[in-house]
Chains A and B, each alone.
Chain A
Amino acid sequence: GNSVTQMEGPVTLSEEAFLTINCTYTATGYPSLFWYVQYPGEGLQLLLKATKADDKGSNKGFEATYRKETTSFHLEKGSVQVSDSAVYFCALSPTTVFFGNEKLTFGTGTRLTIIP
């Protein structure tokens, strides 16, 4: 079955540091890949997504590239801010969607804390 493995947290960085949160996946075919972010006390929000190999998703200074050869979708940001403190979830959706599999598979989440 499908699975997502992401970097264990928590991760603590200083403001303006470079961020990488690793995500690898197991799936048949070419799934769609997502990063969701959860701010304290809130539900998850889509941060970015990519639907095919070599696609790069980007939003709010975050980027992730869909790497089929390494089955990875690592999240990066060049200079983090205190406001980026949140929990980040990697997720995948099946290649072909039909009744019974319209589901996202989530990683366990990585808690990121940015110190001023």
Chain B
Amino acid sequence: DAGITQSPRHKVTETGTPVTLRCHQTENHRYMYWYRQDPGHGLRLIHYSYGVKDTDKGEVSDGYSVSRSKTEDFLLTLESATSSQTSVYFCAISESTSGADTQYFGPGTRLTVL
């Protein structure tokens, strides 16, 4: 198994509060991704990183920010959580830019915003 952990695994929070989700890898892979999974939408990319301090937006980045200060950690922050951000969040890693490279996924974080 790829060494990817996510924390917390479950979180319930209230609208308007800030939330930070953490993804940690032990593989030293360059690329890290944050996705959200919602019924009827599959996985949608929120943000991704191609190196320390190098990040870019995905297709559903509004309301989210990310930071990567170390190779092994990629943080996803909801500055002010809304009910529409209730979802399951997955982190993924990949070794290089090759289009055929496999992405390895973490176990997910289930976030509920009340």
Q: Interface of A with B (CB < 8 Å)? A: 31-32, 34, 36, 41-46, 49, 51, 89, 93-100, 102-104, 106-109
User: What's the nearest-Cβ distance from chain B to residue A113, in Å?
Assistant: 16
Most buried by B among A34, A93, A94, A98: A93
User: What's the nearest-Cβ distance from chain A to residue B44, in Å?
Assistant: 8
Which of A45, A89, A93, A100 meets B100, CB within 8 Å? A93
Contacts A93-B100, A94-B99 given; does A107 touch B42 at CB 8 Å: yes
Complex interface: chain A residues within 8 A of B101 (CB): 93
Report if B31 contacts A (CB, 8 A): yes
B94 and A103 form a contact (CB under 8 A): no
Report if B105 contacts A (CB, 8 A): yes
B42 and A43 form a contact (CB under 8 A): no
Which of B42, B58, B102, B107 meets A103, CB within 8 Å? B58
Interface Cβ pair total, 8 Å cutoff: 65
Report if B50 contacts A (CB, 8 A): yes
A108 and B99 form a contact (CB under 8 A): no
B31 and A102 form a contact (CB under 8 A): yes
Complex interface: chain A residues within 8 A of B31 (CB): 102
B103 and A98 form a contact (CB under 8 A): no
Complex interface: chain B residues within 8 A of A36 (CB): 105
Q: Number of contact residues on B: which range applies?
A: 20 to 34
Complex interface: chain A residues within 8 A of B33 (CB): 103
Report if B14 contacts A (CB, 8 A): no
A109 and B42 form a contact (CB under 8 A): yes
**A-facing residues in B33-71 (Cβ within 8 Å):** 33, 40-45, 48, 50, 56, 58
Most buried by B among A34, A41, A51, A102: A102
A19 to B27, CA, bound (A): 35
Contacts A99-B50, A102-B94 given; does A44 touch B43 at CB 8 Å: yes
B100 and A108 form a contact (CB under 8 A): no
User: What's the nearest-Cβ distance from chain A to residue B14, in Å?
Assistant: 25
